[in-house]
Amino acid sequence: MIIKSMSRKTASFAQLTAYMLAPQGARIELAHNLPAVGRDAEGVVLAFEDNFAQLPKRANGNALYHEILAMPPNEGVPKKELIAALRKMAERYLELRAPEQLAVGVIHAETAHIHMHLMISSNPVLSRKRVRLSKNEFAEIQRDIEGYRLEHFPELGSARHYAETQSGLKQRRNEQEAKRRSGKASHKEILASEIEPIVAKAKNKEALDKGLGELGLTLYRRGRSVGVVTERGRRYRLATLGLSKVYTEAMARIELVESRVAGLGRERRSRTLDVERSL
């Protein structure tokens, strides 16, 4: 798979959406962090424009990203299976590359190279800050997706396009080989299975920290990456563990509850003041 990213300085959401949907039969395959009511072409454009409006005006700031995930020609695999595999890989890609941003994906299957076009917002949902992905971070994601393809879709071939000598991919490949030999879950899979229910069920940030602490883990944030660190200092990104979406949903839920509680507190204080003034 080839993964290509192109940034745009202008907010050309309508133009790019029209381009992606231009081929006959093209339709929106992925709607990442988009409200259910905004999943047609018009709704997509409005959602992206509203989100972009949150950003302060800035010269040369990126407005959006146009990215392409392209499959190699594979005559031995039915087109439906190629499309299904591409969709799964795109879902994982967005989980790693843009967990909190808006994104929409459209597959073009009319060529020998079946590929998906992605439109990704430059800022997280309703955020006033842009997300900047370094070259190293992007390369790590490319290697991750390639490793994911090799593990889950071996029928697509063993060709590699990204540096397999990099330690990240080499380590994953060794883990995969060890798992095949032993038939046992990898350390990362076990760790993810222990962390997921704690994150998913946490009612507040204190409960989350307490639950992770019982596993000997501490939550950390480094730039846009969120992960856990062990008592021995070993770090694991939640994206690598496949838990970005679970964490994002949990944080959104916790922040909503905290906002409501704060609102009720302000309302009670206001009522108390009204009563005191009336005495």
Q: What is the pLDDT of residues 116-170, one digit of tens each?
A: 999 999 999 989 999 988 888 898 899 899 989 988 998 888 777 775 433 333 3
The radius of gyration of the chain's CA atoms, rounded to the nearest angstrom, is 22
At residue 165, the pLDDT reads 38
Amino acid at 32: H
At residue 172, the pLDDT reads 54
Separation CA 5–CA 3 (nearest Å): 7
Residue 38 has pLDDT above 70, yes or no: no
At residue 255, the pLDDT reads 79
Instruction: Name the most confidently modeled range: 125-129, 218-222, 258-262.
Output: 125-129
Could you tell me how many residues make up the chain?
Answer: 279
Separation CA 86–CA 3 (nearest Å): 12
At residue 171, the pLDDT reads 44
Count Cβ atoms below 10 Å from residue 213 Cβ, excluding itself.
13
When pLDDT is cut at 50, 70 and 90, the band that residue 248 belongs to is: confident
pTM above 0.75, yes or no: no
DSSP state of 155: G
Separation CA 264–CA 262 (nearest Å): 5
Q: Specify the fold of 2-129.
A: BirA Bifunctional Protein; domain 2 (3.30.930)
Q: Would you list the domain boundaries of the chain?
A: 2-129, 187-266
At residue 188, the pLDDT reads 82
Question: Which carries the bigger pLDDT value, residue 188 or residue 34?
Answer: 34
Residue 18 has pLDDT above 60, yes or no: yes
Distance of alpha carbon 152 from its chain centroid, rounded? Answer: 19
Separation CA 162–CA 179 (nearest Å): 23
At residue 277, the pLDDT reads 66
Token pair, residue 67, equals: 């990215």
Q: Where are the beta strands (DSSP E) in the chain?
A: 2-8, 28-32, 64-70, 101-108, 115-124, 217-222, 225-230, 235-237
